Chains A and B, each alone.
Chain A
């Protein structure tokens, strides 16, 4: 089975611009979560989508948004980029939202640099 894929892997943007990141989950997985990883704040949860609906949201400003399509692929968007948005953005997928078989698998991440 193919793993979680994220595109692009690297991105350089300028302050004030917007960016869209893409994530394709493992086949059959319906839950997609997004995390931001920075040296200062560590790994922080952004949001979770399940069956095209946002089910959970972390403590991030409204500039961060996302969506999920009917094939479970997900995108996240960051508008009006700030220098502090520079980070590794990780996408993770899971078959379920809980239960004893619950496991979350991560993609390689998208490295976003804001200049």
Chain B
């Protein structure tokens, strides 16, 4: 069975500082991994995905994530936080063909950006 753990339900950074949101996964097969962002009263927006190609994945809005199989991690980073990055972030895993379109999500991390 697949599962996702996001370390830290709340992360606070200063504008211009590094953003690091942690995600660890468990999967019985090579996983597909995703990061989504959710702004208040909206749906989820796909930031980036890993589907067994390059281990360093670049996404939208300056975010990137690195897949580390040995650590079963897929942490999300951004070199310099912007006020508009304040939102909730979700890491998700899919076991590809095994689980079809089923995504298993982490608990979410609320990112606050302080001026």
Q: Which positions in A face B, CB cutoff 8 Å?
A: 4, 31, 33, 35, 42-43, 45, 48, 50, 55-56, 58, 90, 92, 94, 97-109, 111
Contacts and interface: CB of A to CB of B under 8 A. Distances in A.
Given A33-B103, A100-B51, A43 B90 contact: yes
A43 B107 CA distance: 8
A100 B53 contact: yes
A4 B101 CA distance: 15
B107 A33 contact: no
Contacts of A97: 97, 100-101
Interface in B79-115: 90, 92, 94, 96-108
B102 A56 contact: yes
Interface of B: 32, 34, 36, 41-46, 49, 51-53, 90, 92, 94, 96-108
A44 to B, nearest CB: 8
Given A90-B44, A98-B96, A106-B43, A42 B108 contact: yes
Given A33-B103, A45-B103, A99 B42 contact: no
A50 B101 contact: yes
A105 B101 CA distance: 11
Nearest to B107: A42
A108 B45 CA distance: 10
A50 B51 CA distance: 21
Nearest to A57: B102
A92 B52 contact: no
Nearest to A55: B100
Contacts of B108: 42-43
Nearest to A58: B102
A99 B99 CA distance: 12
Contacts of B52: 100
Nearest to A93: B101
Contacts of A101: 51
Contacts of A92: 44, 101, 103
A44 B45 CA distance: 17
